[in-house]
Structure 1
Amino acid sequence: MQNSSLNKKYGFSSENSKIFPLMIVVEITNVCNLECIHCPYSFISKDKNYRPRHMEMETYKKIADEVSEHPGSIFRLLCDGEPFCHPNFIDMLKYAKSKNISPINFITNGLLLDNAMARSILDSKVEVVEISLDAINKDTYDKIRKGSNFDTVMNNVHEFIKLRDSIGSKTKIFVSIIQQPESENEYDSFVDYWTPKVDKVISRPLTSIGGLVNIPRKNVPTSDNRWPCPQLWRRLFINVDGSAEFCVEDWDNKTIVGNIIDSSITEIWQGKEYTDLRELHLAGNFDAIPYCFKCQDWQARDWDYNYFHALNEVLNETS
């Protein structure tokens, strides 16, 4: 009975979300062109077991085909790498749009967002493009986003906005910043600079990425009572090899709950393993799930305000 009561407070937000995830997050590549200080890619990519991979088009199409059967589910291309590194990235966007999937969004570091890429993206009619910047000053940017070029990225973003506006594209543009010590003194400046220029400024708390990244304790939100993780009721994460995970922070593939090559998203989402995970979270039995028990990032997962709200706010402005 207690779980039933908690389900009303924390559980599925709609009947549709019981059937299919509100958001499907797809890792189309694990290759990146940067080594940001808050990201484990810088050392994972140097591990002897690391193998650079791009998602096969056949796997991607299988995912997109099923997502297309569930109108309204958010299709998000969020990688352990940079999506522009996938040689078929634009074809992937076009395929998803050909299946009438909406909304589609992705996140990029913007370094490869030249005019040709910008035009191809806008031609695809993707709903939301998020550009991860993390700083407004060059010195800060260079400390955080290793391997990038501040001037190139800033020019790319400004030209992208200008092109979007000049052709009357309905694509929404987000920029984002992670709250970390290196940039804490310029957060307000970041927001003030970008708010008049883009559709949304996203601020995210710094997380340890499943304990892989050391973060200062002052950057960890505090709360006395742990709540169930909203991701279990909202999102499914699909890796480059088609394996599905229940946690986006899992770079070590310890939270795998199936593989979409062998089964469907619906089967995984409604399956016993996922159902059991939700029940354990509702009961507060986090210690029964090793990966969840050691989680340092649970307080960063807020039920009240999240990326769904941000997307809905801007997409509903023109609907």
Structure 2
Amino acid sequence: MKAQIKPKINLEERVKLQDVLPLKTPFSMLIEPSDKCNFRCKFCPTSDLKLMQATEGRNYGNMNFDLYKKVIDDIAEFEDNLKIVHLYNQGEPLLNPYFSNMVEYAKSKKYINKVATTSNAYLLNKELSLRIIQAGLDRIQISIEGINEEQYFNISNVKIDFNKLVDNIEFFYKNKKECDIFIKIVGNNLNEQEKNKFYNIFGDICDYIFIENVVPIHSNFEYNLDNNFIDRELSLTGEKVNYVSVCPQIFYSLTVNSNGTVSPCCNDWSRKLIIGDANHEKIKDIWNGNKLRNLQKLHLSGGRKNHIACSSCGVPIYEAIDNIDDYAKEILYKINKMELENR
């Protein structure tokens, strides 16, 4: 197998958040090309069309390309380069017909170091693959939902041509130039033989590969899964869960939803954490605004459990890469000091 078995987050190059907070420039931004999806995965809120229609703030459509360019242009106002723009959030990004143009526009800006995306790859035909590669995409994370058509239907409720999917990914890999390919699958319902088959099918057509767990991260969402499908004591990467009080994500990342509203968290599927609107606000102003700062202070003061969205969110438990709990008072002091100096 050519691929390295590694999780999607590179822990080797990760800085210690407690040493650099508060940040003048976010490390990363997620920009959502589309918040609709061509799959109906049982563990994803976006799969429930009635729920999406009933959720205020869900666009269930594609981002306007002019809005996208405005967001990318706004990033230039930050003091430092943005480490990465991730073209993905709650939906399938390749549903946006301007996706390759989005990659190309972000890659044309020297203040953005890398551009990445996450996709189920089913729309990744040869023509689109070549356009995306030519546009300069640095990394694509591909979510595989089964090792055959039956498993795909059981998880994603769609009938696919599995061989076609594999062929399309192989074509992308053979033509990828400098683009890294990461492939992962949900391993909760796979036995050891099936896990080995996953590695055999995809291990030679990607750079990195991993078997993840489905974890209950979505607040106020009932998973359409058997009770024994999810092991609530294991993290996304299969380790024992670490109960974190302060969510680290809201200190280094921003998410721009497909309609332009801005969340501090990629897990804000119900749009209960809106802190701004990129349609008529600058991204830098939102980053430095009171809504985000007050949310950060709430977490640092031990109040996460009192927030309507954050209280039941599983990200700090199952997906938090960083742990700044022991430094909360110190970081809060630094934020208050910075605010006084900026008055």
**When the two structures are superposed, what TM-score results if normalisation uses the length of structure 2?**
0.76
CA separation of 1:142/1:103 partners in 2, compared to 1, >3 Å: closer, same or farther? same
Superposed CA offset, 1:44-101 (max 9, x none): 3565446532111121011111334542421001132211111211111111122233
Aligned counterpart, 1:125 = 136
The amino acid that maps onto 2:99 is F
- Amino acid in structure 1 at the alignment position of 2:162: F
Aligned-pair Cα RMSD in Å: 2.7
2:60 is aligned to: 52
Q: Distance in 2 between matches of 1:189 and 1:304?
A: 32
Query: How far apart are residue 171 of structure 1 and its match?
Result: 0.9
Amino acid across the alignment from 1:212: F
Matched, 1:85 2:95: yes
Give the C-alpha shift of residue 105 in structure 1: 0.3
Where do 1:172-183 residues align within 5 Å? Answer: 172-180=180-188, 182-183=189-190
Structure 1: 5+ residue stretches without partners:
1-8, 306-319
Which residue number corresponds to residue 211 of structure 1? Answer: 220
Corresponding residue number in structure 2 for 1:286: 304
Q: CA distance change for structure 1 residues 212 and 68 in 2, over 3 Å: closer, same or farther? A: same
User: What is the one-letter code of the residue matched to 1:126?
Assistant: L
Query: Which of residues 317, 320, 343 in structure 2 aligns to 1:299?
Result: 317
Q: Say whether 1:163 aligns with 2:168.
A: no
State whether residues 23 and 252 of structure 2, in contact with CA within 8 Å, keep that contact through their aligned partners in structure 1.
no
Q: Name the counterpart of 1:41.
A: 46
Taking a change above 3 Å as real, the CA distance of residues 230 and 304 of structure 1, as seen in their structure-2 partners, is closer
Return 5+ residue gaps in structure 2 as ranges: 1-14, 235-239, 324-343
1:256 partner SS: coil
Q: State the SS of the aligned residue for 1:117.
A: helix
Pair 1:260–1:304, CA change in 2 (3 A):
same
Distance 1:293 1:19 in 2: 27
Matching residue within 198, 201, 205 for 1:197:
205
Offset at 1:192? 5.7
SS in 2 for 1:136: coil
Conserved in 1, the CA contact under 8 Å of 2:25 and 2:81? no
Superposed, which structure 2 residues align to 1:124-143 within 5 Å?
A: 124-143=135-154
> In the superposition, relative to structure 1, how do residues 287 and 48 fare at CA in structure 2: closer, same or farther (>3 Å)?
closer
CA distances 1:76-132 after superposition (whole Å, capped 9, x unpaired): 011322111112111111111222332000011111111101110110111001111
Matched, 1:94 2:104: yes
Matched, 1:14 2:20: yes
Percent identical = 25
Residues 24 and 74, structure 1, Cα contact 8 Å, conserved in 2: yes
The separation in 2 between residues aligned to 1:302 and 1:90, in whole angstroms, is 30
Q: Is 1:256 paired with 2:274?
A: yes
C-alpha distance in structure 2 between counterparts of 1:35 and 1:199, whole Å = 27
- Aligned pair partner of 2:33 in 22, 28, 41: 28
Q: CA deviation at 1:144?
A: 1.6
